[in-house]
Each structure stands twice: as structure tokens, then as C-alpha cells.
Amino acid sequence: MTREDIELKNPATAGDVLQGIPGLDVQRQGSPGGLENIKIRGGLSTHTLVMIDGFPVNSPALSEFDIGSLPVDGFERVEVVRGAQSALYGSYAIGGVVNFIPRKGGKERQYDAGLAAGSFRSLKWHGSAQDGGKAGSLYVGAVGWKSDGILPNDDFSLASYMGVAEVPIGSRSRIHAIMLSTEGTKGVPVDYSGRDINHRFIRRGLLTGVRYEVDVANGVTVTASGSIFDEFLHTNDPAEPGETSSLDDVTKTRKGLLRLEGRISPAPFSTTFVGVEYQKDRMTDSNVFTDTMFGSFPSFNESSVYDRSVFLQEELRAGKHSGLSLGARLDRNSLAGTEFNPKVAAFHEISAIGTRLRAAVGRGFRPPTASEKFDIYVGNPDLSSEKAVSYEAGADATLPGKKVSLAATWFYQNFKPLIQYDPDVWKMRNMNAFSRGVEAEAIFQILTDVGLGVKYTYSDTWIAEKQRRILGIPRQRGTVYLLYTPVPAFHARLDWRLESDQLDKSPIESNISRRPGYAMVDFFARYRWDINVAAIREFALTGKMQNLLNRDYEERKGYPSPKFNFLLGAE
């Protein structure tokens, strides 16, 4: 996803940008600000490694990252890699990797500012400044978002601040640094008691990362990097009128990373990556459950998990049209023990017909989190690590005239075992499962200024012990879009998004039930003027209208999604 894609959609949070990508399933609990995660190819959100500028941010407590709290105005692009990637990225990449790449300072000084408002008393603002030259570059940005939501106690506010700096050190080395701070406050209108008027949730996150890179010789580059990601989660659910119980829970986590990597490219046909990595996750959880009849029941949980690993990857090119990738990683994890994860991938281009064939097989693993093992409500201390082997094969083609491009991929993932909540026993369990399916994409340049795109994903999942599908995974989802660009300054896009039913569990229901499928239509537009008046070089008007047909639907069972809504702005 490019910067142009991000600007056109004028997204509230990261999930708005990722909607429609083949193989990705992004679902939000209700209105913007609700819990939102990324699932890839029928896997769980805990199988997706989320990175910001190459630094991991998955929660040590939950093993996932809530992208509903991540604004994307400060990012240049989003990169997605599907399939098991533990051979290069370690335990959290059992299903794939999503990397948010931040903007950097340009070659000259520039300032940006924008303001937008719309339905549900929504207000969004952003501002940034950047500069660059021989001495280095700097980008700083801030984003704010607030909305009343669609239900009582559904309000949401978010503030985010980011700084990215790059400084050359001599002619052969450079240092890169990032700091990202986010803070969000959200009402929780639906919980296990039904509609709630005073349940509140606060999340704060702080990422700091540094990367030092040096060219030690021709074709040899060494990179040393480190990061710390701190997260604070506070859930406060006082007793409502007629209720006898309340809950107050505070979770603090820290993810630390040290990585040393070498890139050796002695010849055009060979590139070798070799490195070592150390990662440590820490978590503390303080929980107080109070009942007016039986008193207070405090609990405290503290855990620490470390992972030491060494990895090697060889990229080989057999001429201009074929390539082979061989990778392996050996992890020593304090929970999972020793894990060996290989991966093999290959491609071959048939230039005569504009086609590229590709295939890959890889292995991934993920140890259970402390919450999955020791949570006082649903934890299971007997959980073992998740392991998966993934296979894929596909082709990409560009037809003569370059007005039609096609892509298709078959995939299969075998989980032995999977970790998922089992409502029959009210706790987390290991269960053998698989997911298989097809991803397809077709892009047509119908006219000079009109493009048509079709994106489709079919996912067939199955849990052997339960004789049912994996929860929260729709069997089919797709997007058909029209892109209209009559002049370079104007872009408009109309999306028709469809999603089939899925098995799911509402927070107020004890049994698994069917969440119906839905279809919705969204519209995005952006018009830009190059005005060059005083210090202002560019002015743009933006607009988006979502759920144009005003449909009732739910992305997750029990959480109503917004009906027709709009956001209009200027930058």
C-alpha cells in the first residue's frame, strides 16, 4: 500500500488502509477505535507479526497488535508478506508479517497540516514538518482523532506523535532512529454483561528504535538494531445500577529487541543474510474483581519470556528470470524450547508471455503467552506451542498492452496445534486445524482515466476436534473497485466490499453462532491544487462516504458497525 493509497482513503486508523488486500482479514469491533486485528490466510490475529519501521510491536500479553489504535498519516507505505515467516522473523510470524514504513525527511523543508470532520461528531487533525540535506533528515508528525461513536459510551479519542531521523556518519555508515507515542481512550459499549454505559479502556504505547548500518566492504553491509516497545492497558468496568460486580485491570508490558545482521552480496547471483537476535518480553497484570456480596478478589501475574536465535538466508538468482531463496532459523525460547524453522521459495519468469510463477513452503511457531496460560478466567497452564507448516503456489501475469494484470495464489496451512478459546470448556485449548484457499486479483485499465480492480479471497478452515470452522474467519471476502482519474489532480474511488458469514461468538452469548455476511459500498475522493501562493504550494480537499447504502451489519458478532457516515476535510 503506497502513500497515494493512504491519502486517497483518508483513513481513521490502519485497518481502513488494509481493507481489501487479498489474503488479509481485518475486522473491527464496532465503530472506529474498537479492537481491530489482522488475520492472514485463515489464521488468527496472534499469527501476524506487526512491525513499525521493522521493529516488532506485538503485545507480550496478547501476542497480537491492536491496529485500531494506530493512525497511518505518518506512514509512507505498508508492506505485507503472507505465509509462515519464522525462518527470518521468529515466533510471532507464524502466518505472515505486516510492516508499517514511516515517512522520512525530504531534501527540503516542508510543512503539512490537515483537518477533517464528519458523522458522529468526528474530528481528525494532523500536522507534520520535515527537512533534509547532507547532514541528515528529520520528520516529525502528530495526529489526533475523536468521535462520539454510534452507541452510548462508544466515544473514542486518539493522539499520536512520531519522530524519524537519519544521520550519515562519514561516507560508509548511517544511523536511523524512530520514536512513536500513541494514547487512546475508548468507551466499551458492549461487553459480557450486554450494553454497558461506564466500561472504559485506556491504551498507551511507546516505541523507540535505533538502527546503525555500515558498509564494511564492497557488497558487505552490517546492521545493528535495537528497540523497546512499552504498552499500558487499563480496563475499568464499575458496577452499573442493578449490577453487583466491578472489574479493574492494569496490564503493563515491555518488548525488547537486539539484532545484528550481515548482508553479503559478492556477486549479482548471490545475496546472503546472516544474523543473531535476542528478544525479551515482560508482562505484569494487576486485576481486582469486586462483588458487593463477597468482597474483593485481587490477583497479580508477572512473567518474562526470552528468545535467542540465529538465522541464515541465501538468495540465489539463476540468470535474470529465476530465483531461489533458502532460509532457516534456530530459536531457543524459554517457553517453547528449541525450534528450527526452515523456508524455501522459488520463482521463474516467462518473459515471452509476461508471466511469473512462484512457490514457497515454510514452518512457523508461536509459544503461548502468559495470559493464555495463566489468566484467572480462561487461562490453561497445559498449553503447548503452536506450530504450522504453510505451502503456497501462484502466478502473476501482465497481458500484452499492459492494460490487464492478473495474480492468483493457492495456499494451505496446517496447524499442529492451534491455540484458540473453547467456549465449551471456557478456557484456551490446543486443537489441530488447517486453513486452505485461494487469493486472486485482477486489475483492468478500461480507459485512460478509468481503472477496474477485483480482489477475492476464499478461505476454508477446519478444527478437527470440534468438527467446525475456525472462529472469526469468513469463507469468502472480496472487493470490486472503480478508480477514476480524469486529471492528475483528481482521484476518486468507489468500492463494493462483500464478506460471507462466519462462525463467531458474541460477548453476551455462551454458544458459538453464525455472524451473517454483508455487503457495503464506500466512496473516496481527493482533489489537489498546486497554488504556489506565499509559502503554500499545495491545497487539497478530501472526502469519504462509507456504507453508502446504510446497511445494518457487524464485522464481529455482537458489535454493531456504523451505518452511513462521512468525513470531509482540507489539507
Q: Which 3-state string (H, E, C) describes 147-175?
A: ECCCCCCCCEEEEEEEEEEEEEECCCEEE
Q: How far apart are CA 527 and CA 541, in angstroms?
A: 5
In which element (H, E) is residue 373 found? helix 370-374
- Confidence check: pLDDT of 201 > 80: yes
- Confidence check: pLDDT of 175 > 90: yes
Cβ–Cβ under 8 Å, residues 372 and 383: yes
Looking at residue 399, its amino acid is L
Q: What is the pTM of this model?
A: 0.94
Collapsed DSSP state (helix, strand, coil) of residue 549: coil
Q: How many CB atoms lie within 10 A of CB 247?
A: 16
Cβ–Cβ under 8 Å, residues 531 and 538: yes
Q: Which of 253, 266, 280 is nearest to 335 (CA)?
A: 280
Any idea which residue has 486508523 for its cell?
Answer: 13
- Confidence check: pLDDT of 489 > 90: yes
Percent of the chain with pLDDT over 90: 75
In which element (H, E) is residue 428 found? strand 427-447
pLDDT at residue 531, rounded to an integer: 87
pLDDT at residue 11, rounded to an integer: 82
Q: How far apart are CA 134 and CA 277, in angstroms?
A: 32
Q: Which residue has the higher pLDDT, 4 or 12?
A: 4
Which residues partner with 394 through β-bridges?
358, 409
User: Could you report the per-residue pLDDT of 23-82, keeping only the tens digit for each?
Assistant: 999 999 999 888 999 999 999 999 999 999 999 999 998 889 999 889 888 899 999 999
Q: What is the mean pLDDT of residues 430-438?
A: 95
Q: Which residue has the higher pLDDT, 278 or 300?
A: 278
pLDDT at residue 88, rounded to an integer: 87
Burial class of residue 549, CB neighbours in 10 A (0-12, 13-18, 19+): exposed
User: What cell does 475 get?
Assistant: 469463507
Q: How far is CA 287 from its chain centroid?
A: 28
pLDDT at residue 264, rounded to an integer: 96
Distances (CA, A) of 61 to 57, 251, 304, 372, 571: 11, 8, 10, 8, 38
User: What cell does 557 get?
Assistant: 458478532
pLDDT at residue 399, rounded to an integer: 92
Q: What is the average pLDDT score of the chain?
A: 93
Cβ–Cβ under 8 Å, residues 127 and 160: no
- Confidence check: pLDDT of 98 > 90: yes
- Confidence check: pLDDT of 229 > 90: yes
Q: How far apart are CA 502 and CA 432, in angstroms?
A: 19
Q: How many CB atoms lie within 10 A of CB 186?
A: 26
Q: How far apart are CA 473 and CA 14, in angstroms?
A: 20
Lowest-confidence pick of 142-151, 200-209, 532-541: 532-541
- Confidence check: pLDDT of 470 > 80: yes
- Confidence check: pLDDT of 136 > 80: yes
pLDDT at residue 437, rounded to an integer: 97
Q: How far apart are CA 56 and CA 53, in angstroms?
A: 9
Q: How confident is the model at residue 558 (pLDDT cuts 50, 70, 90)?
A: very high
- Confidence check: pLDDT of 250 > 90: yes
Q: Which residue has the higher pLDDT, 6 or 256?
A: 256
Most confident of 227-231, 487-491, 505-509: 227-231
Which residues partner with 460 through β-bridges?
436
DSSP 8-class letter at 508: T
pLDDT at residue 542, rounded to an integer: 94
- Confidence check: pLDDT of 205 > 80: yes
Collapsed DSSP state (helix, strand, coil) of residue 46: helix
Q: How confident is the model at residue 268 (pLDDT cuts 50, 70, 90)?
A: confident
What stretches of 5-90 adopt beta strand conformation (E)?
Answer: 24-28, 36-40, 48-52, 55-56, 75-82
Lowest-confidence pick of 74-78, 139-143, 437-441: 74-78
Q: How confident is the model at residue 316 (pLDDT cuts 50, 70, 90)?
A: very high
Q: How far apart are CA 64 and CA 70, in angstroms?
A: 13
Cβ–Cβ under 8 Å, residues 399 and 354: yes
User: Could you report the per-residue pLDDT of 351-407, keeping only the tens digit for each?
Assistant: 889 999 999 999 999 998 878 888 777 889 899 999 999 999 999 999 988 899 999
pLDDT at residue 487, rounded to an integer: 94
pLDDT at residue 518, rounded to an integer: 96
Cβ–Cβ under 8 Å, residues 136 and 165: yes
Distance from the first to the final alpha carbon of the chain: 21
Q: How many CB atoms lie within 10 A of CB 101?
A: 17
Q: What is the mean pLDDT of residues 498-513?
A: 90
Lowest-confidence pick of 66-70, 261-265, 514-518: 66-70
Q: How far apart are CA 320 and CA 35, in angstroms?
A: 45
Q: How far apart are CA 25 and CA 497, in angstroms?
A: 12
Percent of the chain with pLDDT over 70: 100
In which element (H, E) is residue 9 found? helix 3-9
User: Could you report the per-residue pLDDT of 287-307, keeping only the tens digit for each?
Assistant: 999 988 888 899 888 889 999
pLDDT at residue 261, rounded to an integer: 97
Collapsed DSSP state (helix, strand, coil) of residue 383: coil
In which element (H, E) is residue 15 found? helix 14-18
- Confidence check: pLDDT of 121 > 80: yes
- Confidence check: pLDDT of 242 > 90: no
Collapsed DSSP state (helix, strand, coil) of residue 479: strand
Burial class of residue 312, CB neighbours in 10 A (0-12, 13-18, 19+): middle
Q: How far apart are CA 39 and CA 109, in angstroms?
A: 39
State the greatest distance between any 2 C-alpha atoms of the chain, in Å, as a whole number: 78
- Confidence check: pLDDT of 534 > 80: no
